[in-house]
Structure 1
Amino acid sequence: MEHEVFVPVPVERLREALADPARVARALPGLQQDAGTAPVSGRLKVRIGGHSITYRGTLGVSARDDGSYAVEADATEARGSGTVKLALTLTVLPAEEGST
């Protein structure tokens, strides 16, 4: 699956943000960070329709040699037995007045 998003920020500035775990954590709406842990770990509530699920886990973003980024997350339900794993490749490209 592919998805493209426009970000009104120059490529280099976006790359700086992706290289800083604390900035990545601040960009995740609804993330409640765990005190004393890695910057991108904690609880995240997800709402789908009339249901919400809270997950506890970690997220990592790492630069690759080809200029793309590997994004990986691993979490478990805070009040259940479900788990979720995420693995995606993020490619940042220049666009008019920003990045895609």
Structure 2
Amino acid sequence: MSAKAVGFPVERDAVLQLVTVIVGVIVGLTFLFGFGNVLAFGVRLGVSGSVAPLVASVVDLSVLALVIAIRQLSLRGRLRRGDPTGADCCWSRASSRWP
């Protein structure tokens, strides 16, 4: 049953924009939360006050880059073991430890 059938005149683009905004807010708040945690941890370890924010942002951005890279590899089918193109990502074909 669609939203129009129930009586809600909702456009698809408006819904997509709303979902995008909500996801953006969640990602932003998560970034700030992680930034604060790493910043507090760095200060507790004795990192200088001018360097700690730089380290905290680098840690958050590197985790974000890793997640995006894994997502892109999985979308392109490059994370499958035994890929006939030879693009087995980071592990060796001779490795028997990887399932």
Q: TM-score range by the shorter chain?
A: under 0.3
Q: Higher relative contact order at CA 8 Å, sep ≥6: structure 1 or structure 2?
A: 1
Q: Pick the structure with greater CA Rg.
A: 2
- TM-score, normalisation: structure 2: 0.21
Name the structure with the higher strand share: 1
